[in-house]
Amino acid sequence: MMPMSSISLDVLDWANAGAADRERVLTRHGTQQALTRVTDLNRSIAELVEGVRRDGDAALIDALRTFDGIEAAPSTLRVGEEEFARARAALSGELIEAIRLSIARSRAFNEAIVERASWSMPGPDGTIIGEIARPIESVGLFVPSGKGSYPSVLIQIGTPAVVAGVSRIAVVVPPNPTPGGTRVDAATLVVAEELGLDEVYCLNGPSGVAALAAGTETVPAVGKIVGPGSPAVAIAQQLVQSMGVQVAPGLGPTDSLIIADRAADPVILAADLLNEAEHGVDSSAVLVSTDRSLLDQVAKEVESQWRDLPEPRRGYAKASVCDNGGLVLAASDEQALEIANAYASEHLQLAVADPGGWLAGVRHAGTVLMGQWTAFSASNFSIGTPATLPTTGFAKSVSGVTAHTYLTTIATAALSESDFWAIAPAIEALATHEGFPAHRASVTVRRRLHDRPASE
């Protein structure tokens, strides 16, 4: 039996750290290395995408055979009623109830978004302005399965789509890698059934993305694709945008940052740090505190808890914390927030005595979890707030997947006559400056009719 490797965590003193050490943390060192390596995949994924566009179902079947070792026929690409039935029979009542609870909480959160998405307000002189929200017509949801079973991903991205009212929702799931398991992860199929989604396809990841974008004999094209995936899937998602399909951006390797003060429990901090770190070798987990003693305690506790993890999760966690993340000593609360905002984490936990007092200083994060009872695991599975979130710094410009992801808004306006005349001089001035005589005439014609004597 091979001896277990060790884990050693040093504390990075941010105020005295060099530029290279700071850059390592902020750029998620291992994640950036992985992104560099994936450039080698670009050509092969591009060929795969083009093959699906050109050959349709035949290319999907070939990809399943080549990359997943599965023989399929066009009639088996879509999951049938018997597979749904077998999936439900394979699950325990406890897991089905967990799925239902998580869907219900996500539904409630997203229903609140939809209720508030359309609005109107009165303006001056009888003007009414606002927006109406409408669901997009079709979406393809990608649920990964390369490292395990992820029914929670379908809960997170599927429930908002259903609540938003998307007319057609297609789901693509790669073959289940678990030996002896069903062709498609049983729990994911039960989530689909609970959401009323029956258009589910078992396809190789990148080729499935291509099918959703280009359409094949079996898989009709969609207007948008949502869902995280492997580097190969991410490349496919980037490529298919040239086909006119929109892809939700920023859904890459998970990352998390915790800000903690001396009120935090170091045992819980270690558990929450490892929670996000076990996702994969390209994940990143960071803990920031002004309390050096607390960081030292967490370092010891992380090593203790890390040893209890099974492989490959133990290896994933080591890379995520030691190589890509780590423990950071901040000189002040203000510096701790500066680090968090520069990092722009997917998940930010405020493990402090007064998290509400810190919230105003948070500028960039996919989600903010306030206090140690608001665990990453609770957010990932069952709180109901979004857990499919922007990663690798995309939180600076992108939001998580909610009902907003599946809605478009249409601005509305109704001018009263008096308010039209109030802004008419501005219309004329801008139309003249920009060289649009017909724009200016739309005012002058109305003025001429308005000023015409009633006897004419």
Q: What residues are labeled active site?
A: 346-347
The pair of three-digit structure tokens given for residue 437, joined into one six-digit string: 């005589």
Strand order in 11-13's β-sheet? 11-13, 326-329, 284-289, 255-260, 347-351, 367-370
Sorted by sequence, the CB contacts under 8 Å of residue 365 that are 6+ apart come out as 340, 344, 345, 346, 347, 348, 395
Residue among 223, 202, 242 nearest 57 (CA): 202
**Structural contact between residues 366 and 391, judged by C-beta atoms closer than 8 angstroms:** yes
DSSP 92-136: -HHHHHHHHHHHHHHHHHHHHHHHHHSEEEE-GGG-EEEEEEEE-
Sorted by sequence, the CB contacts under 8 Å of residue 158 that are 6+ apart come out as 141, 169, 171, 191, 192, 195, 197
**Structural contact between residues 415 and 127, judged by C-beta atoms closer than 8 angstroms:** yes
- Relative orientation angle of helices 205-214 and 231-240, to the nearest 10 degrees: 20
- H helix intervals, 355-452: 355-359, 376-381, 417-434, 437-451
Sorted by sequence, the CB contacts under 8 Å of residue 176 that are 6+ apart come out as 145, 149, 182, 183, 184, 185
Q: Which residue has the tokens 């990663």?
A: 391
**Structural contact between residues 172 and 257, judged by C-beta atoms closer than 8 angstroms:** no
Sorted by sequence, the CB contacts under 8 Å of residue 125 that are 6+ apart come out as 416, 418, 419, 422
Q: Beta strands 119-122 and 128-135: pairing type?
A: antiparallel
Strand order in 168-173's β-sheet? 200-202, 168-173, 138-142, 224-226, 246-247
The C-alpha atoms of residue 36 and residue 231 are separated, in whole angstroms, by: 10
The C-alpha atoms of residue 199 and residue 371 are separated, in whole angstroms, by: 39
The C-alpha atoms of residue 52 and residue 64 are separated, in whole angstroms, by: 12
CB-count exposure of residue 7 (10 Å: 0-12, 13-18, 19+): middle
The pair of three-digit structure tokens given for residue 321, joined into one six-digit string: 């914390």
